[in-house]
Amino acid sequence: MGSNPLPSFVIVLILLVLNGQGPMTAKVEAKSTVHIVYLGERQHDDPKRVTDSHHDLLATLVGSKEVASDLMVYSYRHGFSGFAAKLTESQAKKLSELPGVVRVIPNSLHRLQTTRSWDFLGLSSHYPNHVLQNSKMGDGVIIGVFDTGIWPESKAFSDEGLGPIPSHWKGVCKSGDQFNAATHCNRKIIGARWFIDGFLAEYGQPLNTSDDPEFLSPRDANGHGTHTSSTASGAYVRNVSYRGLLSGTVRGGAPRARLAIYKVCWNVLGGQCASADILKAFDEAIHDGVDVLSLSIGYSLPLFSDVDERDGIATGSFHAVARGITVVCGAANEGPSAQTVQNTAPWILTVAASTMDRALPTPIMLGNNKTFLGRAIFTGKEKGFTGLTYPEGTGLDPTSAGACQSLSLNSTLVAGKVVLCFASVTSRVSVRLAAATVQEAGGIGLIIAKNPSDALIECRDDFPCIEVDYEIGTRILYYIRSTKSPTVKLGHSKTLVGKPVSAKVAFFSSRGPSSIASEILKPDITAPGVNILAATSQLDQWMDGGYAIHSGTSMATPHVSGIVALLKAIHPDWSPAAIKSALVTTARTKDASGFPLFAEGSPKKLANPFDFGGGIVNPNGAADPGLVYDMGLSDYIHYLCAMGYNNSAISRLTGQSTACPAEKPSFLDVNLPSITISSLRSSVTLTRTVTNVGSPNSIYRADIEPPTGMTVTVKPHILVFNSRTKKISFNVTVCATKQVNTGYFFGSLTWRNEQNAVRIPLSVKTEILESYADDN
């Protein structure tokens, strides 16, 4: 354990963005007695023998099986071997030294991170002959969701028209607080259970409070889990809107897929999830027979290593992927800063968030007959022209009084008026505090000038909170200062869809490169995650008629999980890596008008692979990718050896004896559907292998867009497949044309034939270290 053990209570994040702002990441430290004892792959197929061996191992330390049973929190016995137990630091250290024990680490906590989105992605039910119909809407596929539970009464979880429960399902539905398995589970919600022992052992406080209601059952008190589950696999529900906006039919990506609910996150401080509980959920889900796992969960930077069980997700997902289960995770909401992406293991499918071709313009009409369009969710009572004010300050910092996060208001000057403020802190909490301050002073509306972002902040009680960018905010301010009696009229928000609105990578979406291994491109793919309308808990404070609008990579993740279920229905023999490759190589890098995608930020810029991975997910293209960059256990071992992990840890993780080569292998030869070179000195040659999953007799030619300042050659540059040749390897050589140090430049390699374009992104940074030596 070492002489300076890390704090055992490490916060991680629910990937539900606070409407465009990254989550709070303050660490909470507390003494913990729960430790996860990781033993790697199970040594027996009999779960009872595995559990008995855990009790025997713990009994050797504590003196008896009775005491061991009292200390045991969980036995992990299906997907891998290990247990969670209450231990002192001394006991944990002794246990870590026993033969067969890979690691003993403290438990840790993670935090939690629609009508139009499926049409935007090309999955409208009005068009035949695409992936939605060809997959029978995901029928027979089981999506496991790790989250805050589910609100089973929602129409989104109706089982009308569904056939029998898939025969490969081996899980259970458990009754609990206000959740009756006999009535709340059906042919849609086929499994539901909860995992809380690891969390309770750490939290040590009452769980169900007036501020944070909760249920000891699969029932969702938060709304996050219901929202993600219905986005992935909700049934069709017609005539849904949110306060009269975004009207249409709500459904999930795979409407006929089945749901298995694993409640691992609890309604405390916005959503808390313990690693011990997450690992147990992985263990059970692997046993239960899920086909896809969807996790909108993450943690705070810095990242844990891939073999550190405090992550919980990397370890559990490895065992799931090894058994053919695709694991889909959110990239996190720490954007737009670089190197903030999470869930970076190459076996995980990591999802960034984008906007879509939909906006909610809200008119702001000034008394000088000029009208500006802001953004809001405002459908309350529309007033005529009223007073408009900006709280001017005095002294050395005259603008401080008008800062949204620290408004200083004179009730006499504000009463009955709309207030303009400028926000440097744009979290949902700070904006809503500003709105509350204006309301308390008698104001009737708020215009917030802020860094542009499409993730909207809704205020309570239909109080208008209209967002504009700094330029428009400044023009409104100049109008206020130009007249003695400035006035304004705030109009209702409208729903605008289609080509006038271009999709962008969301401001909050975490960006690459990975802070663990920059050569492993993350995120992998991008999906809609801004202003997503989906079902929610009746306890969600932002609920309207059982539905709510939320933003975050939490919302993007289940979009991809639903699409993966459709692909799994069409191609049940595809590996998780093949599915990832199909998504990445067919993704869109341009909007509907043919213009390159942008990424929100300061300033807005052209998006690159560190923003969106392969691009915005294209479900119909992914169903027929032509070629895939497949990977299996040997590829993941190659990666683990390249990371420098020791043979023992790798062997235990993979369940087979592993000896890494004396010379550390290169990350560049991991068979990813991308090429990322973080330090190109002069030239480098790497290898990729593609597998033909299209027409048996196919010929592909290489089409190269080299990054600026590079030459890229591919050998062979023509690939010929037939009934005997299904896999072909090729070499890629990248050369720097100038001996200079640069940032990253981007390009692509596309294999083309008459039917398919199989594109992978190239990201290259030159770093000519020799030049420093020459100068000395």
Instruction: Please state the separation of Cα 560 from the chain's center in Å.
Output: 10
Say which DSSP state 78 is in: S
For the CA atoms of 562, 564, 568, 569, what is the dihedral angle to 10 degrees? 30
545-562: string of b/e by CB count within 10 Å (b at 16+)? ebbbbbbbbbbbbbbbbb
Q: Two tokens at 533?
A: 């309308």
- List C-alpha distances in Å: 87 to 70, 80, 107, 201, 645: 11, 21, 11, 11, 26
Instruction: Please state the separation of Cα 198 from the chain's center in Å.
Output: 23
Q: Whose CA is closest to 226, among 170, 296, 292?
A: 296
Q: Two tokens at 24?
A: 């709070």
Taking the chain, what is the end-to-end CA distance rounded to the nearest angstrom? 44
Say which DSSP state 533 is in: E
Q: Does residue 355 sit in helix, strand or coil?
A: coil
Whether residue 126 lies in the annotated active site: no
| String of DSSP letters for 548-573 | EEE-SHHHHHHHHHHHHHHHHHH-TT
- Whether the upstream peptide bond of residue 5 has omega within 30° of 0, thus cis, is no
Catalytic-labelled residue, pool 224, 227, 550, 638 = 224
Whether residue 554 lies in the annotated active site: yes
Question: Counting every residue, how long is the chain?
Answer: 776
Whether residue 624 lies in the annotated active site: no
Tally of CA atoms within 13 A in the half-sphere of 41 that contains its CB: 18
| String of DSSP letters for 712-775 | EEEESSEEEE-SS--EEEEEEEEEESS-----EEEEEEEEE-SS-EEEEEEEEEE--THHHHHH
Return the HEC string of 656-667. Answer: CCCCCCCCCCCH
Catalytic-labelled residue, pool 275, 453, 554, 698 = 554
**Beta strand ranges found along 251-340 (DSSP E):** 258-263, 265-266, 272-274, 292-295, 297-298, 326-330
d(CA 523, CA 576) in angstroms, rounded, equals: 16
User: Is residue 583 a contact partner of residue 523, using CB atoms and an 8 Å limit?
Assistant: no
Say which DSSP state 340 is in: -
Q: Two tokens at 431?
A: 């904006």
d(CA 382, CA 489) in angstroms, rounded, equals: 8
Q: Is the dihedral of CA 132, 138, 143, 148 positive or negative?
A: positive
- Whether the upstream peptide bond of residue 513 has omega within 30° of 0, thus cis, is yes
Q: Two tokens at 603?
A: 């300033």
User: Is residue 699 a contact partner of residue 719, using CB atoms and an 8 Å limit?
Assistant: yes
Catalytic-labelled residue, pool 119, 139, 147, 291 = 147
User: Is residue 636 a contact partner of residue 347, using CB atoms and an 8 Å limit?
Assistant: yes
In the block, which residue shows the tokens 């500006």?
A: 372
- Catalytic residue annotation: 147, 224, 554
